[in-house]
Structure 1
Amino acid sequence: MLKLLLTVVLTGALGAAGRPAPAPTAPTAPRRAAAPAFDHSAYDRLLKKYVDAKGLVNYKAWKADQQGLNQYLARLSQNPPAATWPQAEQIAYWINAYNAYTIRLILDHYPLRSIKDIGSKIQIPLVNTPWAAEFFSIGGRKMSLDYIEHTVLRKQFDDPRIHFALVCASLSCPRLRPEAYTAARLSPQLDAQGRDFLRDPAKNKVGKTSAQLSRYFDWYKADWSQNGQSVASWVNRYAATPMSPDARISYLDYNWQLNEQ
């Protein structure tokens, strides 16, 4: 019996010794955040330098220091979004492009009192507004600000919050955010823009039974009313005082004065 027990033990030991030792498990590398499809950090630094907390722009100083903006716009022009980019990356790219090229347009014609004054200066047949002028190219295609807003952002992406982010260089438009939009923070940035816009009494005066709203809610009524939403539901999403669904709505006059410090 003892001989049999020793035989079993020795056989098991030899068998274990004969098997190759399992390979050591390599440590798992920490997961890195995906690199952005396009780096807007250079534009971010320019906004922090020339735009204050109220969204007002120091165009005079920026006019004297345009190299950084020119370099950023050159990179935008050469790197259009691909269909494979995440949607948030594409939206952030186009919002930044719209606002940066608006700044480019103002600097090209500065000093001026209003962006609307540029229309009479653009010597292009059938173009009488600065938004329709094809004064830049992206990916080899001539484009206008209207193209970015209406053909790209409004048509391709189902998010009316873009209206809180696109800046027409005027006091009644949403403030120019003193930072670039990024995919990683896009949704909270757009929500912050909505709160800022709806809680600014110079742009919207919201009460329970009546509201004087920005013309944005009239001009883009179809956008605010899609997917079962309404102007009232969007206003109440961000306003400090909620308005009733049957509140009387009127619209404020639009101030086209330049958003200048």
Structure 2
Amino acid sequence: MKKYILISLILVTGCFSFASCNLISSAGFNSKGLPTPDMKDEVSANTNSGVQLDHSAWDALLKKHVQEDGMVNYKGFQKDREELDKYLQMLSAQEPDDNWSNAELLGYYINLYNAYTVDLILRNYPLKSIKDISGPWTKEFIQVGDTEISLGALENSILRKMNEPRIHFAINCASISCPKLMNEAFTAGKIEQQLEKATSEFINSGKNEISEDSAQLSAIFDWYKGDFTENGSLIDYVNQYSKVKLAPDARIEFKEYNWNLNEVN
């Protein structure tokens, strides 16, 4: 019995050391009743949406403080704290329901995740890594109407439940190895093109090293492998976007993740 308990403690401790990976998807997260429609049959914009949000304030902040390569000027964001707070207040005032189109919901959730991640960094700035913050993915600091949720719940119990694996390349965890923070807001009208761009850019970036016979892939493909392999192998998924096509028997390994802050020098 003592041996069993010791092994269990080791596994739990190891799990949380990986922070944002899907190993914590069983850590008690839930959607708190927020809508999580299945995106398999509809990703493009739907003109029947009961709500059409204006993300122009976030778009302007991203264009001003995020470089094309995704590196972030957090000092600049600090100077525009009032504008960011107003945008966060607008997001938090929303109460998503089934009247929203799938595209409107997806754009809202992605922007919610990214904007509140920037907010989290600013509230703890300066720092070297998001992992220096206590419980960055488990604290329920995101307000959506009368509901409080965590970044982990937003990712694992809402976005991932929508069966759209490209969200992994749209949300940003403020770290060097993360897919870059896009310097534009996600919107319902452009969501399909934006997801395609984010996925293609990440897979063909230096965060993956791909040749015909082998690949060193981002750890994201390891942590969330099940999200990418529902309709085929991991190689099949990568080959949809990679400029260099992997052979069916290519050797796959995964890179060590760099959690250092994605800050402009």
CA distance in 2, matches of 1:178, 1:61: 14
Paired amino acid for 1:91: L
The 5 A counterparts of 1:1-261 are 37-119=52-134, 129-155=135-161, 157-201=162-206, 203-226=207-230, 228-261=231-264
Unaligned runs of 5+ in 1: 1-31, 120-128
Note the alpha carbon deviations across 1:216-238, whole angstroms, 9 max, x for none: 00000110111x22211111111
Unaligned runs of 5+ in 2: 1-46
Higher relative contact order, chain-length normalized (CA < 8 Å, sep 6+): 2
- Give the CA deviation at 1:84: 1.5
Given that 2:49 and 2:101 are in contact with CA atoms closer than 8 Å, whether structure 1 keeps it comes out as no
Tell me how large the CA RMSD over aligned residues is. Answer: 1.5
CA distance in 2, matches of 1:221, 1:34: 32
Paired amino acid for 1:243: L
Note the alpha carbon deviations across 1:10-50, whole angstroms, 9 max, x for none: xxxxxxxxxxxxxxxxxxxxxx9989621111111110111
Paired amino acid for 2:73: N
- Give the CA deviation at 1:204: 0.4
Paired amino acid for 2:252: I
Higher mean C-alpha displacement, 78-87 vs 32-41: 32-41
CA distance in 2, matches of 1:35, 1:179: 23
Runs of 4+ in 1 over 4 A off after TM superposition: 32-36
Identity percentage over the alignment? 47
Note the alpha carbon deviations across 1:230-252, whole angstroms, 9 max, x for none: 21111111111010121100001
Q: Secondary structure at the match of 2:252?
A: strand
- Report the TM-score, using the length of structure 2 for normalisation: 0.79
Paired amino acid for 2:168: H
Paired amino acid for 1:236: N
